[in-house]
Structure 1
Amino acid sequence: MYIKKILLAIVLLGMVGLGIFSYYVYHTILAPNTSFSSETKEVFVKTDASYLDVIEQLRPLVKDIESFDVVAQKKAYANHIKAGRFVLKKGMSNNDIINTLRSSNQPISLVFNNQERLEDLAGRVSKQIEADSLSLLQTMSDSAFLVENGFQPATALAMYIPNQYEFYWNTSAETFRARMLKEYQRFWNEDRKARAEKIDLTPNEVYTLAAIVQKETAKVDERRRVAGVYMNRHKRGIKLDADPTVIYAVKKKNGDFDRIIKRVLYKDLETDSPYNTYKYAGLPPGPIAMPDISAIDAVLNYEDHDYYYFVANPEKPGYHKFAKSLRQHNNNRQAYVRWINKVGINR
């Protein structure tokens, strides 16, 4: 009888111990341990992040950082940190969080367009991936890379086709550049290259002219016509006389690309710069901005017409009046000047 009582006591103690152990395991490993109220939270782990760096990022996101640390040590996560963007879900356990941080690096949608310079592009991209703007700019400006791939410092921007791309957040500057070169080569497929050759322009020249076209008109349905004007002038060796190139030349000369210039003055036309197409014939040395794909394709498929001039149309905001003769253009231009004087656009 006495022995039975001892055995019963042992069994009961074992059950209590097992219960305590089960509760500990559940509470430490399997119980929900998030403290945020939203459905998800992003965690960005840098390439050189330490375990302590991760802990500090997680501290405001979990209820019990000590229990997380216990499980992380047991699962050897502390010695195998993975860089990337990770999405934690509300109600995750320590086990779920660690599994996510180890193997669920989520891509991001990287978007860029309308950048005027490599500096602007580097700054825009650096806000979306881990690589900083300085490393991006240095990588994109590397002279050996540019020469090897048919670019010059003035045309380097032409390698970047504006679009939405999928990247991992922990992308390096070199990886970003390599991917953009592949996208450039994919964009300039046989059809586009054949069209560029047909109009006697290189892909970089098409990009350069497309930048002018886009700066001239925001109306996509007018871009082929504007491109046709510039191609008519270019083919006859007439100076392009493009106001956006003058604005770019003035900004570049003064080193002030943040400045907004709404009106080109006569003195601006005398700016001595290869980008000033009022002063120098032919295309500028490189693009004055990053054109949309629609502007690039507008150049490749420019409208065949006899227009050589155009000026903003006050009667149809955003669009232009086109002219075949200088006399007609001057009449259109005078009407435009009267309008800008009336509304008070000075600079």
Structure 2
Amino acid sequence: MADFRKGDTASWDAAQVRRGQADRPQQNQSARRRKKRRRMNPLLAVILYVLIVVAASATMAGVGWLLASDLCAFNRGAKMEVTVEISADDTLDTVADKLQEAELIQYKWFFKLFAKFTKAEDKIGIGTYRLNNDMDYHALISGMRSSSGSMSAETVDVTIPEGYTVAQIIRLLAEKGVNTEEKFLEAARTAEFNYDFIDNDSEDISRLEGYLFPDTYQFYVNHNPQSALERLIRNFEQKMMGEDVQEELETSGRSMKEIVTIASLIERETDGTDQAMIASVIYNRLNGPGDKRGTYGMLQIDAALLYALPDHEGAITNADLETDSPYNLRKYAGLPPTPIANPGMTSINAALYPTSSDYYYYALGTDHKHHYFTDYNSFLNFVNSDQYGG
């Protein structure tokens, strides 16, 4: 058994008491500090809470005002008009992109939310639309509305070749299921087209000749006929309204109709490579000393006569050449009364920028190329040779 001394226990207890008394003031002081940190003036707490609520409300109000301004087209600045084209490949997302790029909306995500809520997919249709920055969200969607269908409707692609006549274009559109030939003919004759170069007093489809621009288009199945034709006319207008074209029209001294008529003759005559050269022959005959060349302003282009004989088949006969029609350019000098086809931009440019030459005649050879001549005898010798392919 270990030795035990009475004084040992007493000395240990005394030391512990002293240490406990020394530590207690420090613990009490720390506790008092913690209590002081946790306390806040009640009035200050209320003020801070109010400030937070006010700041959050102001932020929300500011954001709300910005969104409302975009929705209602407030503060859009000076009025401007833009063209927005919607295709069948577009979605609400890409439509919103186009509107944002055109500066018609600011917040794409908010427009998409509005569009989904208002079922804009069932209203917006393919086409080219003139919109302006005064339009609110609802007006923008209404402005992109098509009477023919929505973005989700069935569509068809149609490529219109250069040199097709109005009648050929209408047949092609009908074959592709855009609408019936009868409805297209009715629209071509009677629909009101708001363009200066369209004669709305006429009820002949030739009033649209030359103005249905050859290109690839996307239409709805059962597309509204007037709307479909207007897309082709609008494309033509956009091509012809370019600054360079307008300047050259002024320089040429000829009307747009005359230039398009010349371009249509080129389109129906070209072998595909010589548009500018054919243009030079046409201008030489129209403007040159015809009395010395035997042409006297007569174009003698049989493609124009065939336009007046739409059901003609086979070679042109002597009886055909006696047809009394202003499209018979062997009987009547100058240009036909309307274009005879719908030319592409290459032929239009050839009519605007013809090659300078002394040629008054050309004929198609067995090589499927045109050969050009300055005088009638050279032309006649070629036609009577085995090189002639006409």
TM class, shorter-length: 0.5 to 0.7
Aligned position for 2:281: 229
- State the Cα RMSD in Å: 3.3
8 A contact 1:83–1:170 mirrored in 2: no
Structure 2 letter corresponding to 1:119: A
After superposition, the C-alpha distances for 1:247-297 in whole angstroms (9 at most, x for unaligned) are: 333x24xxx2xx433x33333322211001110011111122233332222
Structure 1 letter corresponding to 2:313: I
Aligned position for 2:21: none
Distance in 1 (CA, whole Å) between partners of 2:123 and 2:247 is 45
> 1:246: how far off?
2.7
Please say which of residues 269-278 and 282-291 is displaced more in the overlay.
282-291
After superposition, the C-alpha distances for 1:105-149 in whole angstroms (9 at most, x for unaligned) are: 364322212565433222211233543222222112227537865
Please say which of residues 175-184 and 278-287 is displaced more in the overlay.
175-184
> 1:161: how far off?
0.5
8 A contact 1:309–1:324 mirrored in 2: yes
Distance in 2 (CA, whole Å) between partners of 1:283 and 1:107 is 39
8 A contact 2:210–2:341 mirrored in 1: no
8 A contact 2:210–2:264 mirrored in 1: no
3-state SS of 1:159 partner: coil
| Structure 1 residues 157 and 268: alpha-carbon distance in aligned structure 2, compared to 1, 3 A threshold | same
8 A contact 1:313–1:320 mirrored in 2: yes
Q: Confirm or deny that 1:277 pairs with 2:329.
A: yes
Distance in 1 (CA, whole Å) between partners of 2:196 and 2:183 is 20
| Structure 1 residues 141 and 113: alpha-carbon distance in aligned structure 2, compared to 1, 3 A threshold | farther
Q: Confirm or deny that 1:164 pairs with 2:216.
A: yes
TM-score w.r.t. the length of structure 1 is: 0.59
Percentage of matched positions with identical amino acids: 24
8 A contact 1:155–1:285 mirrored in 2: no
Aligned position for 2:266: 213
Give the 5 Å matches for 1:156-195.
156-188=208-240, 189-195=242-248
Q: Confirm or deny that 1:113 pairs with 2:113.
A: no
Aligned position for 1:307: 359
8 A contact 1:155–1:287 mirrored in 2: no
Q: Confirm or deny that 1:238 pairs with 2:290.
A: no
Give the 5 Å matches for 1:41-52.
none
> 1:298: how far off?
1.8
Distance in 1 (CA, whole Å) between partners of 2:231 and 2:175 is 18
Bigger CA radius of gyration: 2
Aligned position for 1:64: none
Distance in 2 (CA, whole Å) between partners of 1:292 and 1:260 is 25
8 A contact 2:210–2:343 mirrored in 1: no
Q: Confirm or deny that 1:335 pairs with 2:385.
A: yes
8 A contact 2:365–2:388 mirrored in 1: no
Distance in 2 (CA, whole Å) between partners of 1:225 and 1:187 is 22
Distance in 2 (CA, whole Å) between partners of 1:103 and 1:114 is 28
Structure 1 letter corresponding to 2:325: S
Structure 2 letter corresponding to 1:201: R
Distance in 2 (CA, whole Å) between partners of 1:248 and 1:119 is 11
Unmatched 5+ residue regions in structure 2? 1-121, 127-149, 289-295
Give the 5 Å matches for 1:75-94.
none
Give the 5 Å matches for 1:23-38.
none
Structure 2 letter corresponding to 1:137: L
Aligned position for 1:90: none
Structure 2 letter corresponding to 1:302: P
Aligned position for 1:319: 369
8 A contact 1:84–1:106 mirrored in 2: no
8 A contact 2:124–2:151 mirrored in 1: no
8 A contact 2:209–2:340 mirrored in 1: no
8 A contact 2:163–2:264 mirrored in 1: no
**Relative contact order (C-alpha < 8 Å, sep 6+): which is higher?**
1
8 A contact 2:198–2:207 mirrored in 1: no
8 A contact 1:113–1:162 mirrored in 2: yes
Distance in 2 (CA, whole Å) between partners of 1:200 and 1:335 is 40
3-state SS of 2:368 partner: coil
8 A contact 1:115–1:121 mirrored in 2: no
8 A contact 2:158–2:217 mirrored in 1: yes
3-state SS of 2:274 partner: helix
Unmatched 5+ residue regions in structure 1? 1-80, 86-101
3-state SS of 1:145 partner: coil
Distance in 2 (CA, whole Å) between partners of 1:148 and 1:312 is 37
Aligned position for 1:203: 256
Structure 2 letter corresponding to 1:323: F
| Structure 1 residues 158 and 327: alpha-carbon distance in aligned structure 2, compared to 1, 3 A threshold | same
Distance in 1 (CA, whole Å) between partners of 2:225 and 2:331 is 37
Q: Confirm or deny that 1:264 pairs with 2:319.
A: no
Structure 2 letter corresponding to 1:168: Y
Aligned positions, number: 236
